[in-house]
């Protein structure tokens, strides 16, 4: 039979809920009101019963996302999914019901995604049997997804840290909390296929499994963040899957904020979070019926537990809140890496240590995308394979791309994983060597305060496809421009191309600035046999014009035989280094530059994701209306707005758009530095197109809104609909307009170019 994975330390100290909430004052500032769940405000000694929520500043996070509590009717149906792989769940627990819910499923106003929940127990004849015979799965589920502010519901006790999320329970263990590694692997793959943004794996094992690692890799390449406890045995022995490559390993802190004595250490540790200790554990749900962890049926279905699995539950919840706030979904395959780095950078610890990782989870800083202190150094993590097996003992070296000494690590037994810790931020060439074979990832960017996850190596015979192009740099490519290369290759091999096969495109040529630049497949991208893939590279142009020989080459680490052939390639030049040829708004930005509407920063960069301010908007629109900068008239001698003096850099542009009826300002001025959201942008562009607000008087918007989030009662409804009818705006992939989002410089270029037919 397959190896068994047994749950970590879960000594339980049971207690009753004080249903009459005790008085407790906690200063939260201008935030949501405290939820009416009794455990949130009830004190046990000097600590709130839900002390982790207070330690993590949950109210500040909830005020950011979702910004409110909700009843069954308003329960979000598309919130991020957290898959919980553990002992099952008590579906009948009342704390999974939002006020007004008719059942625990999200379609009934509840918290659970039961339509696709299932059991993966090898010995279970019924895949729909997810009943929790142990109690640990229900406890973990409560930490994450207990309904918030449902204190009016009989039996309600606490607020789950990620109450907006949808919890997908997947049963992988028996009543004792043990599971086969094969069952865990099957559940991981299933969770990824169901679109889970976060996968929390509760069981732990001292045994590493190749098939389980394959399942982890599958979910990682599908954009999932996999979270697991690092282990609760208090030593440095690795536990799995918490120490598997591509898994976010979590250690535990006590209520006093120190690392718990039972929390394991090691290279797989990403950060620490509240897990409790024997003096006070983490308070959460227990099943409403007798089970292994609730032997007294007369007690209330709540209790305390401590261990790294409960710390991991807090991290999984934080990850889901961040995914919801940032509207991240795992479709494109890189959301897991983004959440991974955001979780670590938010701690502000600045460096990695073997007992704390990158420090303690900081939910409030995560949600605001700020760090508690200035982070310092980063790490590179991944694994090395030699001829398809873990390259245990492989030497991994990171050398600064600009030159300098190497930092070296060794691939560990049994996974081939490595960590090169605490590197100064910058670009590195990373090589792996084993068995006389070498592979390289060039120009790996290390960011401060976090890992670069999944820098993996496939050691073997490196393959090359034919060169795609050999060409000279056009004379137009001078300093301050970006050289764009595009090459299409056909998969001429017998198997799919995936990122895991380390297939990437490199540019090789006579300019030293091009050395080491490469681009690979996206995490979830698959190119089948006979399929084609177009790669795009952005290169800095040479300092001087002339003939520079260059070629594009497709390479593969660790492969054998022919695997690709060149189809076609092109070279083009764009105006800005940060707007490559395949950027979604490149045509609009180039058209805006050609029309004299934009000039960029220092001639080199456009900053497409920069937020547009009201003075920048005036410059965009004034130049579009006047036909270029030279045609914008000089402003009046006396300013129209008290906060825009004649020496303001955009003075004449602001005065011109005021004169044209585009902007009228606020009661106390123009507020030139204020950010512009998409609702305000619609007003300015619509007025500019129509000749002022008066020009819109004859326009009657439709009775049925084009965007669900811009109803007829919305203050800029007419302006948004005017732009939609003129095909200036089309909304986002989700069918919404998102009027509250800040307008960025790439969007503004598109709006102006479309609006004025440039």
Q: Look at residues 355, 176, 348, 146 and name the one whose alpha carbon lies nearest to residue 250.
A: 355
Pick the range with the lowest mean pLDDT from 87-91, 234-238, 585-589, 680-684: 585-589
Predicted pLDDT of residue 667: 84
pTM for the complete prediction?
Answer: 0.73
Q: Look at residue 510 and tell me whether its pLDDT is greater than 70.
A: no
Predicted pLDDT of residue 464: 66
CATH architecture of 4-20+34-368: 3-Layer(aba) Sandwich (3.40)
pLDDT band at 299 (very low <50, low <70, confident <90, very high): confident
8 A C-beta contact, residue 430 and residue 380:
yes
| Phi and psi, residue 366, nearest 5° | -60, -45
Q: Are strands 526-527 and 457-459 parallel, antiparallel or unpaired?
A: unpaired
8 A C-beta contact, residue 191 and residue 218:
no
pLDDT band at 711 (very low <50, low <70, confident <90, very high): very high
pLDDT band at 26 (very low <50, low <70, confident <90, very high): very low
Q: Look at residue 374 and tell me whether its pLDDT is greater than 80.
A: no
Q: Are strands 47-48 and 43-44 parallel, antiparallel or unpaired?
A: antiparallel
Q: Look at residues 692, 599, 579, 589 and name the one whose alpha carbon lies nearest to residue 649.
A: 599
Q: For 167-183, how does the pLDDT look when each residue is reduced to its tens digit (9 = 90+)?
A: 999 999 999 999 999 99
Q: For 433-462, how does the pLDDT look when each residue is reduced to its tens digit (9 = 90+)?
A: 998 888 888 888 899 999 999 899 988 766
Q: For 41-80, how does the pLDDT look when each residue is reduced to its tens digit (9 = 90+)?
A: 999 889 999 999 999 999 999 999 999 999 999 999 999 9
Cβ burial, residue 548 (10 Å; 0-12/13-18/19+): middle
List, as one string, the DSSP characters of 67-95.
SS---GGG--SSSPEEEEEES-B-TT-GG
The token duo for 300 is 């209330």
Cβ neighbors of 411 (< 8 A, separation 6 or more) are 383, 384, 390, 391, 392, 393, 394, 395, 396, 417, 418, 432, 434
Buried b (16+ CB within 10 A) or exposed e, 255-267: beeebbebbbbbb
> Measured in whole angstroms, how far is the alpha carbon of residue 584 from the centre of its chain?
20
Pick the range with the lowest mean pLDDT from 304-308, 324-328, 576-580, 722-726: 576-580
Pick the range with the lowest mean pLDDT from 373-382, 559-568, 609-618, 726-735: 559-568
Q: Look at residue 1 and tell me whether its pLDDT is greater than 80.
A: no
Q: For 181-212, how does the pLDDT look when each residue is reduced to its tens digit (9 = 90+)?
A: 999 999 999 999 999 999 999 999 999 999 99
Q: For 264-286, how does the pLDDT look when each residue is reduced to its tens digit (9 = 90+)?
A: 999 999 999 999 999 999 999 99
Answer whether 378-459 and 471-574 agree in fold: yes
Predicted pLDDT of residue 359: 96
Q: Look at residue 230 and tell me whether its pLDDT is greater than 80.
A: yes
Predicted pLDDT of residue 3: 38
Query: For residues 557 and 440, what is the distance between their CA atoms, to the nearest angstrom?
Result: 8
Segment (H or E) for 645: none
| Residue 552 falls in which region: left (phi positive, over 0), alpha (psi -120 to 50) or beta | beta
Predicted pLDDT of residue 247: 98
8 A C-beta contact, residue 53 and residue 39:
no
**Does CATH number 2.60.40 belong to domain 471-574?**
yes
Reduced to 3 states, what is the DSSP secondary structure of residue 310? helix
Q: Look at residue 96 and tell me whether its pLDDT is greater than 70.
A: yes
Bigger pLDDT: 332 vs 146: 146
Bigger pLDDT: 99 vs 18: 99
Predicted pLDDT of residue 512: 67
pLDDT band at 238 (very low <50, low <70, confident <90, very high): very high
Beta bridge partners of 554: 505
Bigger pLDDT: 496 vs 560: 496
8 A C-beta contact, residue 397 and residue 430:
yes
| Residue 522 falls in which region: left (phi positive, over 0), alpha (psi -120 to 50) or beta | beta
Predicted pLDDT of residue 467: 59
Q: Look at residue 545 and tell me whether its pLDDT is greater than 90.
A: no
pLDDT band at 99 (very low <50, low <70, confident <90, very high): very high
Predicted pLDDT of residue 541: 66
Beta bridge partners of 35: none
% of the chain residues with pLDDT over 90? 55
Q: Look at residue 245 and tell me whether its pLDDT is greater than 90.
A: yes
Torsion of CA 233, 236, 238, 241, to 10 degrees: 60
Query: For residues 587 and 540, what is the distance between their CA atoms, to the nearest angstrom?
Result: 19
Mean pLDDT for 352-378 is 89
Predicted pLDDT of residue 84: 98
Mean pLDDT for 475-491 is 65
Buried b (16+ CB within 10 A) or exposed e, 674-709: eebbbbbbbbbbbbbbbebeeebeeeebeeebbbeb
pLDDT band at 571 (very low <50, low <70, confident <90, very high): low
Q: Look at residue 6 and tell me whether its pLDDT is greater than 80.
A: no
What are the boundaries of each domain within the chain?
4-20+34-368, 378-459, 471-574, 586-755
- As a whole number of Å, the CA-based R_g of the chain is 28
Query: For residues 400 and 682, what is the distance between their CA atoms, to the nearest angstrom?
Result: 46
Bigger pLDDT: 570 vs 229: 229
Cβ burial, residue 241 (10 Å; 0-12/13-18/19+): buried
Segment (H or E) for 430: strand 426-434
Reduced to 3 states, what is the DSSP secondary structure of residue 209? coil
- Report how far apart, in Å, the C-alpha atoms of 750 and of each of 162, 459, 582, 629 are: 36, 45, 15, 19
Q: For 7-24, how does the pLDDT look when each residue is reduced to its tens digit (9 = 90+)?
A: 443 333 333 222 222 223
Reduced to 3 states, what is the DSSP secondary structure of residue 687? helix
Query: For residues 569 and 640, what is the distance between their CA atoms, to the nearest angstrom?
Result: 54
Query: For residues 381 and 396, what is the distance between their CA atoms, to the nearest angstrom?
Result: 10
- Report how far apart, in Å, the C-alpha atoms of 166 and of each of 63, 69, 106, 250, 428 are: 18, 15, 7, 22, 39
Q: What is the mean pLDDT of the chain?
A: 86
The token duo for 515 is 């050395």
Q: Look at residue 475 and tell me whether its pLDDT is greater than 50.
A: no
List, as one string, the DSSP characters of 576-618.
-TTS-TT-TTHHHHHHHHHTTS---BTTTB--TTSBPBHHHHH
Predicted pLDDT of residue 23: 28
CATH of domain 378-459: 2.60.40.10
Buried b (16+ CB within 10 A) or exposed e, 1-12: ebeebebbbbeb
Cβ burial, residue 436 (10 Å; 0-12/13-18/19+): exposed
């Amino acid at each position: 039979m397959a190896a068994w994975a047994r749950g970590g330390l879960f000594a339980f100290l049971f207690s009753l809920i004080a249903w009459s909430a005790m008085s407790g004052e906690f200063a939260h500032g201008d935030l949501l009101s405290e939820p009416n769940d009794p455990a949130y405000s009830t004190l046990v000694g000097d600590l709130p019963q839900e002390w982790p929520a207070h330690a993590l500043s949950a109210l500040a996070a909830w005020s950011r996302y979702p910004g409110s509590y909700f009843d069954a009717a308003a329960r979000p149906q598309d919130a991020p999914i957290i898959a919980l792989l553990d002992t099952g769940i008590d579906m009948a627990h009342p704390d999974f019901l939002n006020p007004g819910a008719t059942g625990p499923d999200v379609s009934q106003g509840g918290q659970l995604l039961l339509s696709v929940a299932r059991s993966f127990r090898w010995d279970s004849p019924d895949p729909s049997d997810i009943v929790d015979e142990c109690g640990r799965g229900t406890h973990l589920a409560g930490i994450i997804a207990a309904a918030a502010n449902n204190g009016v519901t009989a039996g309600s006790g606490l607020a789950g840290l990620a109450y907006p999320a949808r919890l997908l329970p997947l049963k992988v263990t028996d009543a004792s909390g043990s599971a086969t590694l094969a069952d865990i692997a099957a559940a991981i793959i299933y969770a990824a296929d169901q679109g889970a943004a976060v996968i929390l794996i509760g069981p732990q094992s001292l045994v590493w499994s190749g098939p389980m690692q394959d399942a982890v890799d599958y979910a990682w390449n599908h954009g999932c963040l996999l979270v697991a406890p690092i282990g609760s045995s208090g030593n440095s022995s690795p536990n799995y899957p918490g120490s598997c490559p591509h898994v976010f390993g979590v250690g535990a802190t006590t209520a006093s904020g120190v690392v718990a004595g039972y929390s394991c250490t090691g290279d797989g540790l990403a950060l620490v979070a509240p897990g409790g200790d024997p003096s006070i554990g983490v308070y959460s749900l227990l099943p409403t019926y007798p089970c292994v962890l609730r032997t007294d049926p007369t007690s209330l279905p709540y209790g305390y537990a401590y261990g790294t699995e409960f710390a991991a539950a807090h991290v999984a919840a934080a990850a889901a809140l961040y995914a919801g706030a940032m509207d991240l979904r795992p479709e494109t395959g890189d959301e897991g890496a983004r959440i991974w780095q955001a979780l670590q950078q938010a701690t502000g610890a600045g460096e990695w240590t073997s007992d704390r990782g990158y420090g303690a989870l900081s939910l409030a800083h995560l949600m605001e995308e700020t760090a508690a202190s200035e982070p310092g150094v980063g790490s590179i993590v991944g694994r090395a394979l030699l001829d398809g097996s873990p390259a245990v003992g492989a030497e991994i070296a990171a050398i600064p791309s600009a030159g300098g000494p190497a930092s070296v690590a060794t691939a560990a037994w049994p996974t081939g994983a490595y960590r090169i810790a605490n590197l100064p931020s910058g670009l590195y060439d990373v090589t792996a060597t084993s068995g006389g074979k070498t592979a390289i990832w060039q120009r790996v960017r290390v960011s401060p305060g976090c890992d670069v996850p999944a820098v993996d190596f496939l050691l073997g015979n490196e393959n090359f496809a034919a060169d795609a192009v050999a060409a000279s740099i056009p004379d137009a490519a001078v300093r301050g421009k970006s050289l764009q290369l595009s090459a299409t290759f056909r998969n001429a091999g017998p198997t799919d191309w995936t990122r895991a096969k380390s297939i990437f495109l490199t540019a090789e040529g006579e300019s030293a600035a091009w050395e080491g630049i490469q681009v690979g497949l996206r995490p979830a991208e698959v190119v089948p046999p006979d399929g084609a893939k177009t790669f795009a590279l952005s290169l800095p142009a040479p300092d001087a014009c002339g003939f520079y020989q260059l070629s594009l080459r497709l390479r593969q680490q660790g492969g054998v035989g022919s695997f690709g052939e060149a189809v076609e390639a092109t070279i083009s030049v764009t105006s800005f280094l940060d707007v490559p040829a395949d950027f979604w708004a490149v045509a609009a930005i180039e058209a805006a530059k050609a029309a004299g509407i934009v000039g960029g920063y220092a001639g080199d960069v456009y900053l497409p994701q920069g937020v547009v301010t009201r003075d920048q908007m005036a410059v965009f629109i004034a130049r579009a209306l006047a036909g270029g900068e030279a045609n914008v008239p000089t402003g009046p001698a006396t300013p129209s707005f008290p906060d825009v003096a004649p020496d303001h850099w955009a003075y004449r542009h602001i005065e011109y758009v005021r004169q044209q009826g585009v902007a009228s300002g606020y009661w106390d001025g123009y507020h030139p530095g204020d950010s512009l959201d998409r609702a305000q942008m619609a007003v300015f562009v619509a007025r500019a197109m129509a000749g002022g607000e008066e020009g819109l008087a004859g326009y009657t918007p439709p009775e049925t809104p084009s965007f669900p989030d811009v109803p007829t009662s919305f203050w800029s409804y007419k302006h948004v609909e005017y732009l939609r009818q003129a095909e200036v705006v089309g909304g986002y992939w989700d069918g919404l307009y998102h009027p509250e989002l800040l307008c960025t410089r790439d969007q503004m270029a598109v709006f102006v170019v479309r609006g004025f037919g440039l």
